[in-house]
Structure 1
Amino acid sequence: MRAARAPRKWWQAGPVRLREFWQLVDEVFGPGYGRALAREQVLDALDGHTPVEALDAGAQPRDVWHALCDALDVPDADRWGTGRRRKAPPPSR
């Protein structure tokens, strides 16, 4: 018999998943503005693509999130939402 595992919370998980990327976009930038940024903001760090184009091309959501936050000077403390227990997931491997 296996021991019950504690449920994993997304903020404790490894890489940022696509669903989590969109949750962060909505929470950090607001749903309307954040979605517009993701569709229209061309980023040098994404080889001249928008976040949506980069995601569609297979870029890792974590990398796209960092590129968007870097381009808009989002402080590290604000990048992972407002939940007081949230923290950045460990780097992708």
Structure 2
Amino acid sequence: MRLTEFTELTGLEFGRLRADAMLVDLVLVELGGRTGAQAIDDGVDPRDVWRALCREFDVPRERW
């Protein structure tokens, strides 16, 4: 997944301001105790970060 697609999906699902805050503030155990932004900076595929966020917030699977 490209970063632009990830940014678009997070904005649509969570709202742009909330998504931006989540990426820098929310630590996800699934991502090794990193925030989404840290994981992406460390080279984790944005698709994996997207799926971790979806699981954390119980986003219906059809919107993943």
**Category of TM-score, reference length = shorter chain:** over 0.9
More helix by share: 2
Structure 2 runs not aligned, ≥5 long: none
Pick one of 47, 50, 56 that aligns with 1:65.
50
More strand by share: 2
Measure how far apart 1:77 and its partner are: 2.1
Paired positions, count: 64
TM-score normalized by structure 1?
0.66
Identical positions, percent? 42
Considering only CA atoms, is the larger Rg found in Structure 1 or Structure 2?
A: 1
Give 2:17's aligned amino acid.
Answer: G
In the alignment, the residues of structure 2 paired with residue 31 and residue 19 of structure 1 have an alpha-carbon distance, to the nearest angstrom, of 13
Structure 1 runs not aligned, ≥5 long: 1-15, 80-93
Moved over 2 A (4+): none
Aligned match of 1:53: 38
Determine which structure has greater relative contact order: mean sequence separation of CA pairs < 8 Å that are 6+ residues apart, divided by chain length. 1
In the alignment, the residues of structure 2 paired with residue 35 and residue 78 of structure 1 have an alpha-carbon distance, to the nearest angstrom, of 19
In the alignment, the residues of structure 1 paired with residue 60 and residue 23 of structure 2 have an alpha-carbon distance, to the nearest angstrom, of 18
Q: What value does the CA root-mean-square deviation take over the aligned residues?
A: 0.8
